[in-house]
Amino acid sequence: MSSETAEILSAMPAGQRGRIAGFDLPPEQRQRLLEMGLTLGAEFEVIRFAPLGDPIEIKVRGYNLSLRKREAAGIRIIRL
Protein backbone atom coordinates (compact mmCIF):
# COMPACT_ATOMS: atom_id res chain seq x y z
CA MET A 1 0.00 0.00 0.00
CA SER A 2 1.30 3.46 -0.87
CA SER A 3 2.55 5.66 1.96
CA GLU A 4 0.25 8.40 0.62
CA THR A 5 -2.94 6.32 0.97
CA ALA A 6 -5.02 7.36 3.97
CA GLU A 7 -6.19 4.55 6.25
CA ILE A 8 -7.88 4.47 9.64
CA LEU A 9 -5.99 4.17 12.90
CA SER A 10 -8.07 1.26 14.22
CA ALA A 11 -6.87 -0.94 11.31
CA MET A 12 -3.15 -0.54 12.06
CA PRO A 13 -1.22 -3.42 13.65
CA ALA A 14 0.83 -3.04 16.84
CA GLY A 15 4.34 -1.74 16.18
CA GLN A 16 3.31 0.28 13.11
CA ARG A 17 4.08 4.01 12.86
CA GLY A 18 1.94 6.63 11.19
CA ARG A 19 1.00 10.29 10.85
CA ILE A 20 -2.39 11.89 11.52
CA ALA A 21 -4.00 12.88 8.19
CA GLY A 22 -7.51 13.93 9.29
CA PHE A 23 -10.64 13.17 11.26
CA ASP A 24 -14.11 11.79 10.53
CA LEU A 25 -15.52 12.52 13.97
CA PRO A 26 -18.09 14.86 15.52
CA PRO A 27 -16.62 18.28 16.43
CA GLU A 28 -16.56 17.66 20.20
CA GLN A 29 -14.66 14.34 19.82
CA ARG A 30 -12.25 15.90 17.30
CA GLN A 31 -11.58 18.82 19.68
CA ARG A 32 -10.87 16.47 22.61
CA LEU A 33 -8.35 14.51 20.52
CA LEU A 34 -6.69 17.73 19.33
CA GLU A 35 -6.32 18.81 22.97
CA MET A 36 -4.58 15.49 23.72
CA GLY A 37 -1.97 16.11 21.01
CA LEU A 38 -3.48 14.26 18.05
CA THR A 39 -3.06 17.17 15.64
CA LEU A 40 -2.69 16.98 11.86
CA GLY A 41 0.79 15.76 10.99
CA ALA A 42 1.54 14.36 14.47
CA GLU A 43 3.50 11.09 14.28
CA PHE A 44 2.55 8.15 16.48
CA GLU A 45 3.25 4.46 17.04
CA VAL A 46 0.66 1.79 17.84
CA ILE A 47 1.90 0.17 21.06
CA ARG A 48 -0.71 -2.51 21.78
CA PHE A 49 -4.33 -3.54 21.79
CA ALA A 50 -6.22 -4.61 24.91
CA PRO A 51 -7.01 -8.37 25.02
CA LEU A 52 -10.44 -7.86 23.43
CA GLY A 53 -9.11 -5.27 20.96
CA ASP A 54 -10.44 -2.19 22.75
CA PRO A 55 -8.87 0.21 23.74
CA ILE A 56 -5.87 0.83 21.49
CA GLU A 57 -2.70 2.26 23.07
CA ILE A 58 -0.56 4.60 20.97
CA LYS A 59 2.54 6.67 21.70
CA VAL A 60 2.24 10.27 20.51
CA ARG A 61 4.36 13.30 21.43
CA GLY A 62 6.33 11.29 24.01
CA TYR A 63 3.43 9.85 26.01
CA ASN A 64 1.11 6.88 25.79
CA LEU A 65 -2.55 7.47 24.97
CA SER A 66 -5.42 4.96 25.02
CA LEU A 67 -8.22 5.41 22.49
CA ARG A 68 -11.52 3.63 22.11
CA LYS A 69 -11.70 1.61 18.91
CA ARG A 70 -14.65 3.67 17.67
CA GLU A 71 -12.62 6.88 18.14
CA ALA A 72 -9.63 5.35 16.35
CA ALA A 73 -11.92 4.39 13.47
CA GLY A 74 -12.59 8.11 12.90
CA ILE A 75 -8.90 9.07 12.66
CA ARG A 76 -7.41 9.01 9.16
CA ILE A 77 -3.71 8.22 9.09
CA ILE A 78 -0.83 7.70 6.69
CA ARG A 79 1.54 4.82 7.46
CA LEU A 80 5.22 5.63 7.77
Q: Quick check: 2 pLDDT over 90?
A: no
Q: Which residues contact 68 (CB under 8 A, 6 or more apart)?
A: 54, 55, 56
What values do phi and psi take at 10, rounded to 5?
A: -65, -15
What is the reported pLDDT for 1?
41
Q: In whole angstroms, give the CA distance from residue 16 to residue 12.
A: 7
Overall average pLDDT of the 57-73 stretch: 94
Sign of CA dihedral 53, 59, 65, 68: negative
Q: Quick check: 32 pLDDT over 90?
A: yes
Q: Quick check: 52 pLDDT over 90?
A: no
Q: If pLDDT is split at 50, 70 and 90, which confidence band does 3 have? A: very low
Domains and CATH numbers, the chain: 7-79 (2.30.30.90)
Overall average pLDDT of the 7-33 stretch: 94
Q: Residue 73 in 3-state DSSP?
A: coil
